Structure 1
């Protein structure tokens, strides 16, 4: 099977939690095929059927611990939270990933689907919301139980079609992710991203999905096996797609390309420039760093709590040129 996602142009500093270990409960969860996934849950003591439980879908080859401070923030504002790693990554990594049969479609159809089922079972009756970073936004549309999602927030969400990369970075990114990465993967049997400073080690199937230069998800290697039954349209969630103008992956074209798959959802695309929040750069990964707790995190929180943007939301909404 295969995958797709795109780390930054330079080595990324992943922010690990300072306080979350005391708040989060580790768990193990089998997917439908028996693969054991690892993750963490932030759970309030008192049951409340009106309290949302939020599943956070990571970017490709980013450990779920990168989102722990953001999970702390949501928990402090009254939400329950689940973070987890896709098979082959972080808490869900076996001793070796060489030869591991894992693809992007597996990450959505099996791993994310397992988290939807876990949320339904462990937090019975509570609304289920999702935050998806980069490929994590695509994964939100690949679970068979996508109709369970009430609200969806995506950040820089796309599936790495190379022509959608920002023009100033496009050829460098194409060489790195669509030439070098698959060649190294062919030699090693997996992509040794950690050794190279390019995020986590990554299964070969995910690399094939990512590096295949096609404009449609269903024509990626693992997407072809679900060509006639892509489940995106079953998601009816009120959806907010956040993009940052200096994110070379999350261009308007890339965000809209993914949003076009969520035909059953109401969709709002919010475009923010670094200058809108008094910064000079933000990029693809920084949204979930605690430095943006006061400026960016309230946007996602408001959508999860109310399904609306706060009155003082920075940026602008992008008119949808392809409503269907």
Structure 2
């Protein structure tokens, strides 16, 4: 069972989470894996996945961003927090915690949805040595799946900011959406454009260059029935991580004999045998599945090149599901 932990964010804000630690002194060959949650999803959602990582020999850290789950302290109306805070301060604090409490161990990250974006915002992101993401993007509405775009635009870019401004936060639990959400996060989401650095409140235009410090190889998984994690959405984010070797793997639910997976179900226990090995093999061995379960696009690292216009990666190499590929 994991132990409850208290982690100071980089600006001192108190965060809460959980740690899975192996007994005995730290082993330099044993990775510590940080799980970055999706927007307003409590870290307990990833507990079974954390258990599985621990069983595979990893130490594991999960945590709640400020204002979410265990890191919510007092009324959300009083909290000024946006996506920048979750990356620049919260993920940064967890990175520092991992480096201090698991000295010498390689640091890997699993990023779900916005959790793959906040990695690049942290000043210490250069410490990360391997990354797996699921449906990772930053919610630019034109990248949503075409069949769901109008409905999603109304919910996330019209209704949500109106509620946030009226109440001072979004009571998302009562609406059946997710965890209650800080006003700043809701407004960041609502105003997001094709370039995050031109859209987020208080973002320095040079912030995009911080993504260039990340050298960790990335496996970005997208599933075909995820209305957030479309090909344009995932590629837009990958376009910022130009100094990383990036692999974008697409998976249709039918490839694993499932009717649907969507944006959230990857982390459900029922996919332990069919989907979780994709993440485990990448994190533990930096190995892609063979044969591939869907199309893969490979984007090589580009030293000295920052984010492409507008969020598009350098043209990659596309491989078919029949190709056997290992980095």
Superposition CA RMSD, Å: 1.2
* Residue 41 (str. 1) matches residue 19 (str. 2): yes
* Residue 297 (str. 1) matches residue 276 (str. 2): yes
Give, in whole Å, the separation in 2 of the partners of 1:82 and 1:257.
27
Counterpart residue number, 1:63: 42
Give, in whole Å, the separation in 1 of the partners of 2:192 and 2:64.
26
* Residue 252 (str. 1) matches residue 231 (str. 2): yes
* Residue 155 (str. 1) matches residue 134 (str. 2): yes
1:133-144 mapped onto 2 (5 Å cutoff): 133-144=112-123
Counterpart residue number, 1:169: 148
Q: Any gaps of 5 or more consecutive residues in structure 2? A: 300-311, 316-327
Aligned partners of 1:99 and 1:190 also within 8 Å: no
Query: How far apart are 1:312 and its partner, in Å?
Result: 4.1
Aligned partners of 1:99 and 1:204 also within 8 Å: no
**How big is each residue's C-alpha offset from its partner over 1:116-162, in whole Å with a ceiling of 9 and x where there is no partner?**
10100000000000000000000111110111000000100000000
Aligned partners of 2:121 and 2:207 also within 8 Å: no
**How big is each residue's C-alpha offset from its partner over 1:143-185, in whole Å with a ceiling of 9 and x where there is no partner?**
1011100000010000000000000000000000000000011
Name the structure, 1 or 2, with higher relative contact order (CA <8 Å, separation 6+). Answer: 1
TM-score (norm 1): 0.91
Aligned partners of 2:246 and 2:298 also within 8 Å: no
Give, in whole Å, the separation in 2 of the partners of 1:169 and 1:161.
13
Counterpart residue number, 1:10: none
Query: How far apart are 1:34 and its partner, in Å?
Result: 1.4
Query: How far apart are 1:213 and its partner, in Å?
Result: 4.1
* Residue 227 (str. 1) matches residue 205 (str. 2): yes
**How big is each residue's C-alpha offset from its partner over 1:283-316, in whole Å with a ceiling of 9 and x where there is no partner?**
0000000010001100000000111113244222
Counterpart residue number, 1:322: 313
* Residue 271 (str. 1) matches residue 271 (str. 2): no
Moved over 6 A (4+): none
* Residue 72 (str. 1) matches residue 38 (str. 2): no
TM-score (norm 2): 0.90
Counterpart residue number, 1:238: 217
